[in-house]
Amino acid sequence: MKVVIWDDIVQAVKTALLELNTTVPPELRQHMLRLLTEEENEISKEMVSEILENYEVAQEKKLPLCQDTGMVMAEVRVGDQLLVEGGTIRSGLDEAIRLAYREGYFRKSIVSDPFWGKNTEDNTPGVYFFDLMAGDSLEISLLVKGGGCDNITALGMLNPGDGPEEVEKYVLNELEKKAARACPPLVVGVGIGGNGAYALYLASHALARPLGQVNADRRYRELEEKWKQDINALGIGPQGVGGKNTCLEVRIESYPCHIASLPVGLVSSCHVFRQKTLKW
Amino acid sequence: MKVRTQEWLTIETPLGLDEVKILRAGNLVLLNGEVYLARDATHKRLIADFNSNHALPFNPEGAVIYYAGPSPTPPGEVIGSIGPTTSRRMDRYLEFFLQLGVRATIGKGSRENKVKELLKNYLGIYFIACGGAAAYLTRFVVQKEVLAYPELGAQALVRIWVKDFPLIVAYDAYGGDLFEQDEISNHKVVTG
């Protein structure tokens, strides 16, 4: 049995949240530098250069990259041979959010009830998914994204006879209508299979991959590349002002599904892609 | 600091009709003067209060509303990160403010088609700022003051003073729409 101290989880998650909201990984900066050379019209170039400048100001002043520091999501994979001492993982995540969002002067955007709630004043709770694994490891994948890109989340219940072409058509149709208001260029997650609820989870889980990590399955890898090109061909561009880059990456996650269904979940992140996985 | 290479128009608030008539979708604009921060809950409260016979806490004539809820202001800063929120959610409130004299709104993303009609009818402008460049945009805010509803936190009504705040005209008063222009690389910058 491996023992992990509750407070160590709190401190690690807190540090990660402070970092995620104020600094960008080199891969994201590389993407934006590439866009700066690829984009041709002066307005999309201006958008990309402001995004790059934003990285500098945020890091220098320790200001959040985006004023919307989101509802924190965490996927927790915990081994059955691991014991957390001092509290539950859930309470540790809440505590980490509480500490990070206060210390970082991040916005508190969570209300305690959709209809009758008040602001919880500390950005808790987050949204957590727990998965029990064999072994003694603990993994926490953090995803921070704002309301703007979450609002274009979609679920399509397609027909089981449909192939990759129909699924792509559904994804393109949704993004053509909605991508401009979700702060593109996006990182697009597509979940295919399971049931309706699980397809949305899969789409979100697809965003738990670090930038640049391609699909292990060649067939899906090829689809990811093709869909990325086709989404970019929509011409929506950075911030929707027109241009060659509407998405940075497409990720697909799949799962077995019912013979009567083809659920397709679509979850996107804005260009301020804030993702990190912690391991014990 | 980034060097500006494109041609930018400098305008000041409150906006008059002359300024509105000059602007075309795709123009790059540096905004100066007073701007009011308001988002979902702020709009709701302003309208409810007005309808129960309370005057607006600001003069709407020529005013510019920025759809933004900044992050908290750290010590030593003028304001916290202040990027635009998605404008479409405020479409339902727009006509109320245009009727009272508000001339322009700032946000991000495309809006419902009816917004273009409203801006034609009332001669108004919809600007976009760069979403997710929220720390960068703090550089152009020189002062802030909470005007009303402090209990709404990030959704309080706040007056800010901006200096050369970078914007793009998304919808103009003639039905022009930046998001529907097929080719915007050769758009003309209107001077004057």
Give A225-255 pLDDT, tens digit per residue.
999 999 999 999 999 999 999 999 999 999 9
Overall average pLDDT of the A66-86 stretch: 97
Choose the closest CB to A42 out of B83, B110, B185: B185
Cα distance between residue A34 and residue A132, in whole Å = 40
pLDDT tops 60 at residue B161: yes
The average confidence (pLDDT) of chain B is 91
Question: Are the Cβ atoms of A108 and B168 closer than 8 angstroms?
Answer: no
Give residue B5's pLDDT: 58
Give residue B184's pLDDT: 41
Question: Are the Cβ atoms of A181 and B138 closer than 8 angstroms?
Answer: no
B43 is catalytic: yes
Cα distance between residue B40 and residue A178, in whole Å = 19
Is residue B164 within 8 Å of A83, Cβ to Cβ? no
Cα distance between residue B125 and residue A126, in whole Å = 38
The average confidence (pLDDT) of chain A is 96
- What tokens were used for B110? 């495309």
Cα distance between residue B125 and residue B17, in whole Å = 10
Q: Give A2-21+65-145's CATH code, choosing from 2.40.50, 3.30.1120, 3.30.360, 1.10.287.
A: 3.30.360
- Mind telling me how many Å the CA of A61 is from chain B's nearest CA? 8
Break chain A into its structural domains and give their ranges: 2-21+65-145, 148-274
Overall average pLDDT of the A180-195 stretch: 97
Give residue B7's pLDDT: 87
Give residue B134's pLDDT: 97
Give residue B180's pLDDT: 85
B180 touches chain A (CB under 8 A): no
Overall average pLDDT of the A134-155 stretch: 96
Cα distance between residue A251 and residue A268, in whole Å = 10
ipTM surpassing 0.90, yes or no?
yes
| Chain B residues 1-60 with a CB less than 8 Å from chain A | 1-2, 6, 26, 28
